[in-house]
Amino acid sequence: MKLYDFTRAPSPRRVRIFAAEKGLSIPSEQVDILSGKARTPEFLAINPAGGVPVLQLDDGSYLAESDAIALYLERLKPEPNLLGRDPREQATILMWERRIELNLYIRVLQAFQHGHPLAAARIKKQIKDYAEFQRDAIVEQLAWTNQQLAGREFVAGPRFTIADITAMVTIDFGRQVEVLKLDPAHRELARWYDAVSSRSSASA
């Protein structure tokens, strides 16, 4: 297998952390998305959606989308389990991951795309008001996530799962591109963030 990766981007980091949790070491190749390398005809032949991560399988075929790659790796190496063991747990983890992805992760990406100078050249038109709107929504979502974490060790329940990976990557990327800050008053979020960030996989 080979992972088409870009170290500074959040989506491939989700896959790197997922693989690290499973003890999988996957050779990788950097695709400099900032200089448009994920949009060349050669790369579009690998992933017509134009982005990383992409996993090249041993038979030469390609899988894109971080969640799809995670599912493939989970089936390949079921333990430690990160996607749920029984139908109820699987659905609960999916429910939480989608909440994080749709309500927080996508907002962070949009606040970045519409508000950050680094993203200006890569989008037709930056709409600064939209970036502002998303930043406000992010503040609300972080407060909500803080409340939801009360009485629960991890995002989807009592153990570390893919929902924690997506949430941590979202927060780290949001901080890196300055579209969010962690509020020290959000004690549950801070407690959870310290725990997930101190896992060795977090440096993947």
Binding site for ligand GSH (CB under 6 A): 9-11, 33, 38-39, 50-53, 65-66
Structure tokens of 136?
């406000």
Minimum CB distance to ligand GSH, residue 147 (Å):
26
Looking at the Cβ atoms of 51 and 115, the one nearer to ligand GSH is 51
Tell me the residue nearest to ligand GSH as measured from the CB: 51
Q: Considering the complex, what minimum distance in angstroms separates the CB of residue 126 from ligand GSH?
A: 15
Q: Helix, strand or coil for residue 47?
A: coil
* Nearest residue to 53 (alpha-carbon basis) of 101, 10, 20, 103: 10
Query: How many C-beta atoms lie closer than 10 Å to residue 110's C-beta?
Result: 21
Between 52 and 111, name the residue whose CB sits nearer to ligand GSH. 52
Tokens matching residue 61? 């075929």
**Minimum separation from the CB atom of position 187 to ligand GSH (A):** 30
Question: Residue 101 Cβ, how far from ligand GSH at the closest point, in Å?
Answer: 8
The label of the residue with tokens 């200006």 reads 120
Does an H or E element contain 5, and which?
strand 2-5
Q: Which is nearer to ligand GSH, 141 or 166 (CB)?
A: 166
